[in-house]
């Protein structure tokens, strides 16, 4: 199996960095080929904008999707975007390793979606969802949070974790990816902010590493999150009234 | 009323740019004072990282929240972060004007949360939710989408809009803000991608501007989205079993 780990944390010696390392080691040990997109270390630019498109399709007004399609077709996509697309194409499994910041992806990783998932190349109106370009590949979010698990439970004050991750899972499925249940480590705080003293922090880390290492070998075969697809939707892209999950009037 | 519009689009002559302009004009005409954070025009850096903290609280390992708190206390926050905080402090109403990219905020605006909402300054363990630093102020998302409304309906293939905006609304409420129902314009596509020919695009834009201009004067008094608060939660931050919305066993 070819695995791409998209690692998004500014500090290699972080909890996230350790989880990335344990994934590399565990997967390599079982014979997988592992590649890492280390977004911070590589200085990835997450800001989509005109500066990335010196050869414009539409010179007067910057429409991001127009320029993405134009650059994809003309082979003039920015080098970092081309590199990330090549990595995605080689991968059978994609692991997004990130801390939950402000109820979502850090800007660096959000911009990886904004810039790399180019219109007219990685998706289009007819190449999405279960007809997506990356169909047949798998993806998983490996996430850390500052607040403890109870806060992200169904009625927790932080918001239900499944709901917070839903937009990210939607994006992964939009590309055709099969989405695995996330790996979430709660209550991670360093730098003297913590619920945890240094010893507790170490213990938490070791336990999180062990549970991740134990789960990783199963990712190739584990059941994925079910999504509805083209056959379930009417011509407006809405669940057909006779769909078992539909309770529309 | 003092209004802050946080405008996030790379193209001033975009649909989003036009909605920002109509908000400025409408609010000024009714006597409000309006300030615009034009994130792209100002070259805001959305990437939280060590480079922003030359005087480190913890020199060996970069813990973002540790450095945010240290810089806030020491008065050494980056100039752009200080500027944004001052704008927030002046505002009674905050309008986030952005296109929905990959089921969420563009990276530029996501990073505005990551960097500006500093730990130890704009929030802390005891200064959050209905005890948040920005309590008493209001906020609203004014959003455009590429796909049409049906795709973002309750059973639409794009995902229910209320659920996609939930993490963003969580972040706003976390800061103490009262959150208004979003203003959403669906099916916005330019640059020849469109469902819409040029004439239809113009008509769509004029209609969206008119409906936004009509709603803006009501934002100061309109009902806001109800959230649970400290009095509703038990010591773990979970809805108390006797809460009317709780169906926990």
pLDDT digits (tens, 9 = 90+) for B54-104: 999 999 999 999 999 999 999 999 999 999 999 999 999 999 999 999 999
Pick the range with the lowest mean pLDDT from A49-58, B64-73, B102-111, B240-249.
B240-249
Instruction: Tell me if chain B has a CB within 8 Å of the CB of A17.
Output: no
DSSP class of residue B92?
Answer: S
- Which residues, 6 or more positions from A122, have their beta carbon under 8 angstroms from its beta carbon? A85, A88, A116, A133, A134, A175
Residue B182 has pLDDT above 80, yes or no: yes
Instruction: Tell me if chain B has a CB within 8 Å of the CB of A146.
Output: yes
Residue A200 has pLDDT above 90, yes or no: no
pLDDT at A247: 74
| Residue with the larger pLDDT of the pair B194 and A174 | A174
Q: What is the dihedral of CA A172, A174, A178, A181, to 10 degrees?
A: 50
The phi and psi torsions of B178 (rounded to 5 degrees) equal -85, 130
- For A96-146, what is each residue's pLDDT tens digit? 999 999 999 999 999 999 999 999 999 999 999 999 999 999 999 999 999
pLDDT at B211: 98
pLDDT at A194: 61
Model ipTM? Answer: 0.96
d(CA A45, CA A14): 21
Tell me the chain B residues in contact with residue A189 when contact means C-beta distances shorter than 8 Å.
Answer: 65
**Long-range Cβ contact pairs of B221-227 (< 8 A, separation 24 or more):** B222/B180, B222/B181, B224/B138, B224/B178, B224/B179, B224/B180, B225/B169, B225/B173, B225/B179, B225/B180, B225/B181, B227/B129, B227/B130, B227/B173, B227/B179
d(CA A90, CA A84): 10
Structure tokens at B107: 């990276």
Nearest to B111 by CA among B158, B78, B138, B150: B78
Mean local confidence (pLDDT), A209-230? 97
Pick the range with the lowest mean pLDDT from A99-103, A141-145, A173-177, A239-243.
A239-243
**Considering CB atoms only, which of B65, B156, B170 is closest to A193?**
B65
Coil vs helix vs strand at B226:
coil
Work out the minimum CA distance from A20 to partner chain B, whole angstroms.
17
Burial class (CB in 10 A: 0-12, 13-18, 19+), B160: middle
Mean local confidence (pLDDT), A175-190? 95
Secondary structure of chain A: what % helix, strand, coil (to 5)?
A: 40, 15, 45
pLDDT at A196: 66
Residues in chain A: 249
Instruction: Report the residue of B9, B39, B101 to disrupt the A interface, i.e. the one with the largest count of A CBs within 10 Å.
Output: B101
Judged by CB atoms closer than 8 Å, whether chains meet at B104 and A167 is answered as yes
Judged by CB atoms closer than 8 Å, whether chains meet at A58 and B174 is answered as no
Residue B249 has pLDDT above 70, yes or no: no
Domain ranges of chain A: 2-232
Residue A17 has pLDDT above 70, yes or no: yes
pLDDT at B192: 67
- For B192-220, what is each residue's pLDDT tens digit? 676 667 788 889 999 999 999 999 999 99
Tell me, letter by letter, the H, E, C secondary structure of B43-88.
CCCCCCCHHHCCCCCCCCCCCHHHHHHHHHHHCCCCHHHHHHHHHH
Q: What is the dihedral of CA B109, B39, A9, A139, to 10 degrees?
A: 40
Tell me the chain A residues in contact with residue B160 when contact means C-beta distances shorter than 8 Å.
Answer: none
CATH superfamily of B2-232: Flavodoxin domain (3.40.50.360)
d(CA A119, CA B229): 41
Judged by CB atoms closer than 8 Å, whether chains meet at B237 and A62 is answered as no
Instruction: Report the residue of A68, A70, A107, A196 to disrupt the B interface, i.e. the one with the largest count of B CBs within 10 Å.
Output: A107
The phi and psi torsions of B15 (rounded to 5 degrees) equal -55, -45
pLDDT at B201: 84
d(CA A24, CA A4): 10
- For B22-61, what is each residue's pLDDT tens digit? 999 999 999 999 999 999 999 999 999 999 999 999 999 9
């Amino acid at each position: 199996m070819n695995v791409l780990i998209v690692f998004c944390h500014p500090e290699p010696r972080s909890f996230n960095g350790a989880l990335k390392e344990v994934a590399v080691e565990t997967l390599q040990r079982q014979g997988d080929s592992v590649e890492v997109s280390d977004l911070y270390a590589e200085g990835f630019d997450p800001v989509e904008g005109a500066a990335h498109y010196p050869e414009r399709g539409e010179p007067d007004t910057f429409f991001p999707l127009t320029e993405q399609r134009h650059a994809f077709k003309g082979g003039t996509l920015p080098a970092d975007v081309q590199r990330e697309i090549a990595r995605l194409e080689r991968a059978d499994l994609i692991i997004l390793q990130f801390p939950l910041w402000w109820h979502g992806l850090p800007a660096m990783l959000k911009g990886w979606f904004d810039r790399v998932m180019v219109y007219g190349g990685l998706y289009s109106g007819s190449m999405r969802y279960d007809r997506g370009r990356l169909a047949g590949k798998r993806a998983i979010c490996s996430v850390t949070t500052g607040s403890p698990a109870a806060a992200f439970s169904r009625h927790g004050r932080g918001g239900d974790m499944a709901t917070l991750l839903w937009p990210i899972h939607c994006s992964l499925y939009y590309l055709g990816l099969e989405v695995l249940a996330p790996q979430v480590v709660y209550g991670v705080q360093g730098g003297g902010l913590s619920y945890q003293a240094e010893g507790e922090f170490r213990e938490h880390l070791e336990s999180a590493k062990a549970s991740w290492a134990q789960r990783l070998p199963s990712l190739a075969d584990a059941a994925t999150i079910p999504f509805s697809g083209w056959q379930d939707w009417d011509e407006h892209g809405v669940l057909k009234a006779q769909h078992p999950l539909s309770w529309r009037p």
